[in-house]
Every structure is written in structure tokens, then in C-alpha cells.
Structure 1
């Protein structure tokens, strides 16, 4: 499969944003499978590994495979692949959101997390589930602009982990260790920032009334 040169900046950026959470997920799987030392920060994963393993597998697939879905040149040249991959991504996206809720509801809060972050995780996991489900319903109804918009919102929330890594690392370098409140606010800001960028892109691509009417005019006069 070939990729347009114009697609590479977008793909590189999205894959780079996925790199930190992907590495973190790989280390988590290695720790769970390799019998790493149990600490207060990871004991909840050893006590119930199923939701975190499902979450990691689905999130890595969703973020890396999903990057190619938003590359216009690649998508236009590989429409059949886009449809097949899209079905897998809907499943992965719903699993990411559902397991996010599952872990939030059943795992005890680790050191440094608090009730505010728990509420934010519930809200954004629910938002992702709604977005991915909305994208699936829209494509089934052949409403492709709405499908693309909903999937962009779901992908933006999923990529929150990458943006959180950037913000938390920058905060640690500039300010120092986070508090319970600052950690929650930074993580919430990462999800919000991603959604704002997604909404800007959605509205930038949306055709105006004249542009939207033009194809119909040409069709009737041709």
C-alpha cells in the first residue's frame, strides 16, 4: 500500500503522539506477564489484569491503525481497506471506552489520582463511546461527513493519552511534581485540547452553502 507525500506529516504526527502510550502499554504488558514487583501503583493491574490488557490492545490498535484512516490520499487510494479497517476500529474504539469505564469503576484509585480525575475519565470514556457509536450509525446511513466527524472526535479522545504524556512531562520539567488537582486538570486539558483541534478540523472541512449546492447544480445542467 502506497502513501502520498502529503499524508506523511499527518501520519508522522499521529504515530508520534501514539508512541508514548504505546510504549507504556508494552511495558505494562511485559510487567504483567513477566512477574514484575507488585507496588501500590500497579497492584490493581495484577489483581484484575483482564480490563487493562483489553484496553491496551484495543487502544494501541485504534491509535496506530486509525492514523491511516485520516490520511486523505491513503484513504482515497485504498477505499476497500478503509472500510475493512474501519469495522475493526469501531470494535476497538468501543472496547477502549468500555474498558476505560470498567477500570474506573472497579480499580481502586492509585496514589496521585483523585475523585475529579475519576469523574473526568467517566465523562471522556462515555464521550468516546458515543462518538464511535455515532460514527458507526452515520456510515450505516451513508452520512459520510457525519461519520467522519464522529470518528474524528472519538479518535481525538483516544489520543488524549499521548497529549497527556506531553503535558505531564512538560509540567514536571518546568514546575515539578503534580498534585492531585494539577494532575486531574492537566489530563482533562489534554482531552479537551484534542477535541478542540478535532472540532476545528471538522468545521474547516465542512462545505459552505454555495459549495454544497454546486455539485447538484452541475448535475442538473449537465
Structure 2
């Protein structure tokens, strides 16, 4: 595949992801905004703890934005022809990713998740990885370690679309199996598997691809 063709293919894939995620983005963004404005009393996410509500609804709102923004950051023509836009939107993405991660973690710490301890642990690790990748992405950009910046940006991209992927797995599995392994309390065997399957396998595949390039887990050793 030529470089130009690969660029167009990547652009098409990123735009397809954005289009496919729009329904989720609209729902999460609308609920997050309503919750922050005190207009989501009907939501099952509501807590008696005000700080937990702020955390989860900020998580939803900023999470919706990064679901769209992360794929757009990877479009080659934007990086090449609009570098200032790429840099500033990257800074916005990192800040929103930090809010997303911290918001979700605060809710888990203060309220816990509907699926119990297993869900809380899986989602907490996911949130910590979001924070790690956001910090590392901007740190390597500022240090002009461009290959490391790219690798961490790819990890952040996979995590940024993770909440959407979590729901995609259900959207595929439910009609195929008639809700096999699913429970309304999110404690069925499929629910338990999906707590990890929406991010760990994708990250593992990325690391394998990076290792084939002689990189992989966390880039070059530096003096």
C-alpha cells in the first residue's frame, strides 16, 4: 500500500468511527450536560453525593467530546497541513481526557458502580490508563519525542473511544445471542468479560503492532 493510499484509508477509517459513534456521543453529551445542570433526576447514575454526580456527569460530557476529537487527531492531512490546529486540539483533548478519567474515578470512589466491585476495579483501571496516556502523550509532544508521542497518542485514541466500543460489543452480542451472559445488574458472564474486553485486547494488539516496529511497551529507554 502506498503512503498516499494508507493516508486516505486512515482518514476514511477515522471518519467512519466518528460517524458510527455520533449516536452514542449525542446521548452521553446530552445526559452529561443535563446532569451538570441538575436536570437528570431520572438518571440511574444519580447519587446522594453531590461530588459523585459532578464527577460522573463531567465524565460523560467530556468523554463524549474526546470520542469525536481523538479520531480527528489521527487524520494525516490535519497533522500535515494544519499543525497549529492539531497542536491546540491535542491540548484540548488531553485536558478533556484528564477530566474524563478523574470524573469517572471520583464517581467510583464515592459511589461505586452498578455492577459491583468487579466493574469498579475494571473501570478504575481503565480510568487510570486514560490519565496515564493523556499525560504521556502531552509530555512526549512537549519534549519533541515524536515517535513516543505518536505511540502514546494511539493508546489514548483507543481509550478515548473505549466507552463507545463497550456499547458496540453489546450491540453486536445481544442480537446474535439473545442476551446470553447478560444481566440487568451487569453481573452476567458476558458483562464480566466485556468489562475488560472493551480496552485491554485493543491495547494488547496495538502493543504487538508496535513491537513489530521495534518499539512496543513504552518506547525507547532514555538516558
TM-score by length of 2: 0.77
* Kept in 1: contact 2:26–2:64 (CA 8 A): no
Whether 1:188 and 2:196 are equivalent positions in the alignment is yes
Superposed CA deviations along residues 138-162 of structure 1, whole A, max 9, x for unmatched, are 1121101101111211221121111
- SS of corresponding position for 1:44: coil
Report the Cα distance in structure 2 between the residues aligned to 1:182 and 1:207, rounded to whole angstroms: 35
Is the contact between residue 126 and residue 199 of structure 2 (CA under 8 Å) also seen in structure 1?
A: yes
Structure 1's 192 and 173: CA in aligned 2 closer, same or farther, altered over 3 A?
Answer: same
Q: How does 1:75-114 map to 2 (within 5 A)?
A: 75-110=79-114, 113-114=115-116
Task: Report 1 or 2 for greater relative contact order, CA contacts < 8 Å, sequence distance ≥ 6.
Answer: 1
Q: Quick check: 2:73–2:79 contact (8 Å CA) kept in 1?
A: yes
Distance 1:45 1:203, change over 3 A: farther
Alpha-carbon distance change, 21 to 119 in structure 1, aligned in 2, over 3 angstroms: same
Deviations 1:178-200 (A, max 9, x none): 13042131131111233234335
Gaps of 5+ in 2: 1-6, 216-223
2:132 alignment counterpart: 130
Which of residues 28, 31, 40 is equivalent to 2:31? 28
RMSD after superposition: 2.7
Alignment equivalent of 2:175, drawn from 173, 176, 179: 173
How far residue 18 of structure 1 moved from its aligned partner, in angstroms, is 2.8
Distance 1:58 1:19 in 2: 14
Question: How many aligned residue pairs are there?
Answer: 201
| CA distance 1:119–1:70, shift in 2 (3 Å) | same
TM value normalised by structure 1: 0.77
1:115-154 matched pairs, under 5 angstroms: 115-154=117-156
Q: Quick check: 19-28 or 50-59, which moved more?
A: 19-28
In the alignment, is the contact (CA less than 8 A) between 2:14 and 2:72 conserved in 1?
yes
Cα gap change, 1:5 to 1:171, in 2 (>3 Å): closer
Report the Cα distance in structure 2 between the residues aligned to 1:58 and 1:155, rounded to whole angstroms.
14
The one-character-per-residue Cα deviations of 1:101-125 (angstroms, maximum 9, x if unpaired) are 1111112432xx1221111111111
Q: Select the residue among 11, 15, 25 that pairs with 2:18.
A: 15
In structure 1, list runs of 5 or more residues that go unmatched: 209-222
Contact 2:58 2:99 in 1 (8 A): yes
**Is the partner of 1:38 in helix, strand or coil?**
coil
Determine the structure 2 residue equivalent to 1:43.
46
Structure with a larger share of its residues in helix: 1
